Structure 1
């Protein structure tokens, strides 16, 4: 008997060593049993309470809320989560209230940690311009650590919506227009937030949003309807969500929009058929703010009671601030309009995450003031923000080697409404702090040059000015300088949620200010700070040096100064296409060809083209310059035909042919030449970010397999079809350096 027990123990040990999934599954089963044991003890009202989320509305010194009903609901166990409560002390105080409830079920605290918590990182679209997945993951990792140290369990990020329309203000919150790049970034950000897994004290739950297709809102207008084919939905808009799920995302958030006439919040196809059905999602779905109740003005529900019924049936588990579930679900169950099984399923999903976070073992485990103090004042975190900011900058133009600036310059004029701004560097959807300190461009240059160079300054105009009264003073300052650095663009609240714009040109008279300074004959460097692609044709055509610096966060000025002086060689690439004119929008690189394609910008006769403007954008997806140059040569394919279960190895030589060490983002595009569904003219299918010293060469390798050749066919099946393919490797979607062809056979 003893021998048998020993043998069994040894076998079990081997199982754990050889198959760690066995141990993982055993832990899942253990949590499920705990969830069921709690669920059996709960009343219907307590169950519905777990599906209810309120926001805190306290000030720095006041109570948690001015609403006595909220306080009572917390103590009565009628609340599953709160958002906008932060800080070790504050979250502990609220959790103590929840511990007064009969079941003593802990609350989950959520916050919009979009691009940093205490340390602000570049806006997500800017981070996407880095094409640096390791740094993107680390930025989310820092935000996760800081948030967790402040008692927060849950962030409402990442936003993984594909954005092809820069009029839509929320493009600043995403990763741009491309499905492949967006999927890679979605995966990295989820991994960053959740670290080594829920339950660790430096990990928070990610919330993938907005499910689904929110980025395709008609006319780029926030909250507007979305109307698209199932093929476009599956091919372009759903893959980043699936990638985030594959990364282990704990929660999802539905979107405000209707999809083909059905609000996403009440959309069974999205939430039950796809997410919880086909994809097997085990976490929970939270509504976006008030979106359950908003099905009433949509005209999909007659009142909040019906909205609650439609939402819970469709798969929305938690009601964020619409006050629809708490007052109505109980009655709907009694009327047999909603089954208790649906309620139990939603509650199980919420409770499971609370167990995974370890909150049942210790409700206060994240509310640790000592850990908070240490994490929120970390020099390491500021360095991470600086590094991410440097990598996010995109060099758009550098004629006559205007950049990098010489360190022997005597006088630099810093001109523009954003030159000394700190607040705007923080960008939209950032966490506000009293006495926050961000580094402006002017301060960053001061830190860089010390007393070696004199800095001159003039604002010139305000961001949205119609007056040119400040131009004369700015011109006089420019005339005294060896070079002029101009900071123009948007205020922090001009891009973001509910910040859609029909006119996306540089606001006010700022471009007129650029013209006036350019007329002085002084060398001019224009820095454009914004949350979306802007239109600035005159500047693009006439100024020698342009950098797109977005909103870069806490270390913005230091990062920009490092790039201006060449201490960091810019390597960013655009994650979105920049149009010449708003009339081209939506515009993106991976469009479908027509039966009458235009061969060039002058080929307009009975072609798919504009009569009054070129088809091509001003700056393409994947575009971005460096202070050095790169040569692509010696392309080799291991074979020119491959079977379905085969692969092709690709190699070529990349050489840094310039005088600066630098990084190149090598981009691999494919075109399926003919298929059962018309395919895009090119699609990004792989990329590498490669660091090379000046003069250094390196062999670069990629692999093409069936997965890279697959797409959703007419039956919405993910499959590859035999045929001919074009391979394109380059430095931007419109700057292909190497080409070849190969075939996929049966």
Structure 2
């Protein structure tokens, strides 16, 4: 296909997500009560700019912003663009008019500094208090990669609703979530915080989280403003190492990495965090093209952009010309003034932690290196968000409510966390129907993660382990409560955490630092685990990663089970008892060395506060797992990055032929487990792929349907998945692209028809000049319940 193109103003490929996610609230209620699903398909040609048109209240806010801005001195404006940490803020900062503060969570201290700002500063502008509520504040939900495994936006939205409510109770009015970075790098530690490798799935989850966080009006007492991060392409660092550089084409930027951000903006997100990484040599927080040209001009974003932690200081070369404190490295600025100017003029509106704009702004204005109009624009955006958040009317937190344990972990919210965790688990293997377990038979729980908190909650778990937080449910707690027969626990080996020592100077990792390198916390060894297995009817082996092995600055060079967990697995399997592995992890793991050993493998990720109960629900059959992988599991770390939506090569992989894109030491180029893969305790058949037409104009649409049938003997969920491929185009296109999915719940023998609508936002793609093009020719359609779907059909796009 080649030929016609459409200008950006004619189409926003993710615009239809706005209509889709508007129904998520109702879908969540239905899904939570009845085990149903939320539909992730539909179409709309609505202009997304209309969705952001402000009503009378919005015009009133603009007048208030204008009046306040006209009264501000230059130094007050420079204070307003300053974002300080909890360890930096002082009374003097508050009185001077500092704009924002993050990670301060003591409600008394929040009210103190807010009182100084509101009552003692000249213009009485309130401070915006923020926090990293990623998958829960005190009631912790599954990590976002786990939530994406649900293929149900209602799960992501439930997480966001509860996290926003608990954050707001604490006195916070902004959260640094959602993280929507698409990643094809399983080594990257922060892959755990996003929705995996697909921009379509990521867009659906992104919009759901924004709507759950903000609702229709984030001035509401149980809502906060969302900050979408990390803008942009942070999830594809070279070598999988956090903060590292990214180099990519214009088409990849727009087709793969921008869509989840666009979906979040269309859903109403009012703040964006620019990223640490450089994109094609230009750091994210000094990138005029991405921050101003795309985000603010093309997309019409009228909120504000904040930098990530010291990201403005990091623009400087090392050593900087001026001996300012803070990190340096990118080398696009000589010193602090240079860095502040570069960030502001590129489109960064708020500087986190480093103080280059506040300290040097007057000098930069005098020298003409920044303009007053651009500074005013930044301040205007910040004030606009504060007015929309209702901070001028309600600046203070209710200390009594914030300090009351009953305010957090409410029964309904814990039930949602448990529901979300069960819905997020993926059954990778189940030979011989090993699962579900028999609750009347004795169970030996073995492994270092049976009673640990961090492996339930995972990284970025807010204040989920604080005194005011609800008590987490361990695996041992959950299995014991669910079983009518004895459950024993043997740690078998240790869980060392020497990855984050004082002063952040990480020493070389030794054997003593690894998971499963010595006796367990209960003094037991692998030999004790063998004895425990021999004494039980069935074995649950809890393996995976320490909670400190994923998240920020936790990239891994190897992706296998760390330490001697493989030895533990082999020893327990050798007993001959049925062994079920429960994985607790944040990276997609390399399981090639162990996949053949256990009878069953359940991917539970880091499941949250109610994780132990949720795992037990699945293991004992109360919940039938229906999750699907949002990311490919590699067949060896040497095969990464691998992702299902790769482009074809001139010599595509054929393991039976030498001269092509294969590995000489692997029998296949396929991953161990593919995107969209997941088993169930029942069986399903996906059939009857049908198109409403075989020819369509570029502005037309095609309805695609398929039938899902439960062919087994248990009720369960499956996810119908729709993929397309453009086989002949002006740019080589991915071998498959997800363009619709729906999770359905079916009784044994029942069938349902799932329908999707494809339109120009699906047919087309962005070229390397940033143009959205819809080219005439054939579009191949694939239907099934994984990215390996085999049902095919096709239609033709006419000129």
Displacement, 1:542? Answer: 2.3
Q: Report the Cα offset of residue 48 of structure 1.
A: 0.5
RMSD, aligned α-carbons: 1.6
The alignment status of 1:413 with 2:447, answered yes or no, reads no
Corresponding residue of 1:542: 597
SS of structure 2 residue aligned to 1:542: coil
Match of 2:700 in 1: 646
Q: CA deviation at 1:377?
A: 4.2
Counterpart of 1:239 in structure 2 is 259
Structure-1 separation of matches of 2:704 and 2:361: 58
- 1:702 is aligned, of 736, 742, 756, to 756
Q: Secondary structure at the match of 2:181?
A: coil
2:154 counterpart residue number: 134
- Match in the other structure for 2:191: 171
Match of 1:482 among 537, 540, 543: 537
Structure 1 position 684 matched with structure 2 position 735: no
CA distance in 2, matches of 1:434, 1:311: 36
Answer yes or no: is the 8 Å Cα contact 1:604–1:611 preserved in 2: no
Structure 1 residue matching 2:562: 3-state secondary structure = coil
Residues 399 and 544 in structure 1, CA contact (< 8 A), matched pair in contact too: yes
Match of residue 4 from structure 1: none
Asked whether the 8 Å contact 2:675–2:787 carries over to 1, the reply is yes
- CA, structure 1 residues 24+282, in 2 after alignment: closer, same or farther (shift >3 Å)? closer
Quick check: 119-128 or 452-461, which moved more? 452-461
Deviation digits for residues 460-493 of structure 1, max 9, x if unmatched? 1124233488111110110011110000111111
1:574-617, Cα deviation, whole Å (9 max, x unpaired): 00110011111110001111111123xx3241111110123111
SS of the residue corresponding to residue 733 of structure 1 reads coil
1:232-264 superposed Cα distances (whole Å, 9 cap, x missing partner): 111111111111110010100000011111111
In 2: Cα distance, 1:25 partner to 1:392 partner? 38
Shift of 1:431: 1.6
1:85 matched to 2:119? The reply is no
Matches within 5 A, 1:469-548: 470-548=525-603
What is the rounded CA distance, in whole Å, between the counterparts of 1:523 and 1:125 in structure 2?
A: 29
Q: CA deviation at 1:354?
A: 1.1
Q: Quick one: which of 659, 672, 678 aligns to 1:624?
A: 678
2:686/2:785 contact within 8 Å kept:
no
Change (3 A) 1:612 1:620: same
Residue of structure 2 in register with 1:445 after alignment:
479
Q: 1:318 to 1:552 in 2, by over 3 A?
A: same
Deviations 1:543-562 (A, max 9, x none): 21000111011000000000
Go from structure 1 to structure 2 and tell me whether the alpha carbon gap of 1:577 and 1:148 turns closer, same or farther (over 3 Å shift). same
How is 1:416-435 mapped onto 2 (pairs within 5 angstroms)?
Answer: 416-432=447-463, 433-435=465-467
Q: 1:607 is matched with which residue?
A: 660
Alignment of 1:546-585 (within 5 A): 546-585=601-640
- Partner residue in 2 for 1:208: 228
Q: Larger RCO: Structure 1 or Structure 2 (Cα < 8 Å, ≥ 6 residues apart)? A: 2
* C-alpha deviation, 1:173, in angstroms: 0.6
The question of 1:42 aligning with 2:96 is answered: no
Work out the CA distance in 1 between the residues paired with 2:699 and 2:294: 28
Is 1:314 aligned to 2:346, yes or no? yes
Unaligned runs of 5+ in 2: 1-49, 317-328, 496-514
Deviation at 1:121, TM superposition (A): 0.7
Instruction: Give the match for residue 12 of structure 1.
Output: none
- Asked whether the 8 Å contact 1:149–1:372 carries over to 2, the reply is no
The alpha-carbon deviation at position 714 of structure 1 amounts to: 4.3
From 336, 358, 361, the counterpart of 1:329: 361
CA-to-partner distance for each residue in 1:675-697, whole Å, 9 max, x for gaps? 11111111101001111111111
- In our comparison, the structure showing a higher alpha carbon Rg is 1
Residue 62 (structure 2) aligned to one of 21, 32, 39: 32
* 1:23/1:454 CA distance change after superposition, 3 Å: closer
Secondary structure at the counterpart of residue 635 of structure 1: strand
Which of 710, 720, 745 pairs up with 1:656?
710
2:37 paired residue number: none
If the length of structure 1 is used for normalisation, what is the TM-score?
0.93
d(CA) in 1 for partners of 2:625, 2:168: 32
> Structure 2 length normalisation: TM-score?
0.87
